Structure 1
Amino acid sequence: MNDRLAGIDTFVYAVDAGSFALAAERLGLTRSAVGKAIARLEQRLGTRLFHRTTRQQNLTEDGQAYYEHCVRALAELEAAEAAFDSGRREPGGRLRVSAPLLFGRHCVAPVLTALGRLHTKLHVDISFSDRVVDLVEEGFDLAVRIGPLRDSATLAARRLGTQAMGICAAPSYLASHGTPQAAADFATHTAIVYGLNAQSAQWRIRDADGTVQELSIGTRLRFDDVQVIADAAVAGHGLAWLPCWLMAPRLRSGELALVTSSQHTVSSEVHAVWPQSRYLPSKTRAAIDALVAHVPAMLGP
Structure 2
Amino acid sequence: MSDILDGVTTFVRVVETGSFALAAERLNLTRSAVGKVIVRLEKRLGVRLLNRTTRSQSLTEDGQAYYDRCVRALAELEAAEADLDSGRREPRGRLRVSVPQAFGHHCVAPVLLGLARRHPQLRIDISITDRFVDVVEEGYDLVVRVGPLADSVSLAARKLGMQYASIGAAPAYLARHGTPRNVDDLRGHAVIAYLRAGTAQPWDVVDVDGQIRRAQVQPQLGFDDMQGIVDAALAGFGLAWLPSWLLSRYEKTGALVTVMENCFRPAQEVHLVWPKSRYLPLKTRCAIDALVAEIPAMIGAPAADAPRVRNT
Specify if TM > 0.5. Answer: yes
**Residue 254 of structure 1 aligns to a residue in which SS?**
coil
Letter in 2 for 1:270: V
Aligned to 1:82: 82
Aligned length: 301
1:118-145 deviation digits (Å, cap 9, x = unpaired): 1222221222222232222222221111
Letter in 1 for 2:269: E
CA–CA distance in 2 between the matches of 1:193 and 1:243?
13
Task: Rate the CA distance shift 1:151–1:101 in 2: closer, same or farther, 3 A.
Answer: farther
Aligned to 2:272: 272
Task: Rate the CA distance shift 1:96–1:262 in 2: closer, same or farther, 3 A.
Answer: farther
1:142-167 deviation digits (Å, cap 9, x = unpaired): 11111111235543222222222111
CA–CA distance in 1 between the matches of 2:170 and 2:57?
55
Residue 20 in 1 paired to residue 20 in 2? yes
Maintained 8 Å contact 1:96/1:140: yes
Unpaired segments of 5 or more residues in structure 1? none
Give the C-alpha shift of residue 61 in structure 1. Answer: 4.2
Task: Rate the CA distance shift 1:116–1:276 in 2: closer, same or farther, 3 A.
Answer: same
Unpaired segments of 5 or more residues in structure 2? 302-312
Give the C-alpha shift of residue 82 in structure 1. Answer: 2.2
Aligned to 2:173: 173
Task: Rate the CA distance shift 1:281–1:262 in 2: closer, same or farther, 3 A.
Answer: farther
Aligned to 1:222: 222
Maintained 8 Å contact 1:166/1:262: no
Written as runs of structure 1 = structure 2, the 5 A alignment for 1:167-206 is 167-206=167-206
Maintained 8 Å contact 2:95/2:141: yes
Letter in 1 for 2:62: D
Letter in 1 for 2:17: A
**Residue 270 of structure 1 aligns to a residue in which SS?**
strand
Task: Rate the CA distance shift 1:240–1:139 in 2: closer, same or farther, 3 A.
Answer: same
Aligned to 2:309: none
Residue 211 in 1 paired to residue 246 in 2? no
Instruction: Give the TM-score normalised by the residue count of structure 1.
Output: 0.89
Aligned to 1:45: 45
**Residue 230 of structure 2 aligns to a residue in which SS?**
helix
CA–CA distance in 2 between the matches of 1:96 and 1:128?
11
Letter in 1 for 2:215: L
Aligned to 2:282: 282
Written as runs of structure 1 = structure 2, the 5 A alignment for 1:36-75 is 36-75=36-75
CA–CA distance in 2 between the matches of 1:168 and 1:13?
47
**Residue 138 of structure 1 aligns to a residue in which SS?**
coil
Give the C-alpha shift of residue 60 in structure 1. Answer: 4.0
Bigger drift between 48-57 and 91-100 goes to: 48-57
Aligned to 2:163: 163
Give the C-alpha shift of residue 187 in structure 1. Answer: 2.2
Task: Rate the CA distance shift 1:78–1:163 in 2: closer, same or farther, 3 A.
Answer: same
CA–CA distance in 1 between the matches of 2:170 and 2:61?
64
1:227-264 deviation digits (Å, cap 9, x = unpaired): 11111222222211111232223333333232134863
Aligned to 1:129: 129
Question: What percentage of aligned pairs have identical amino acids?
Answer: 60
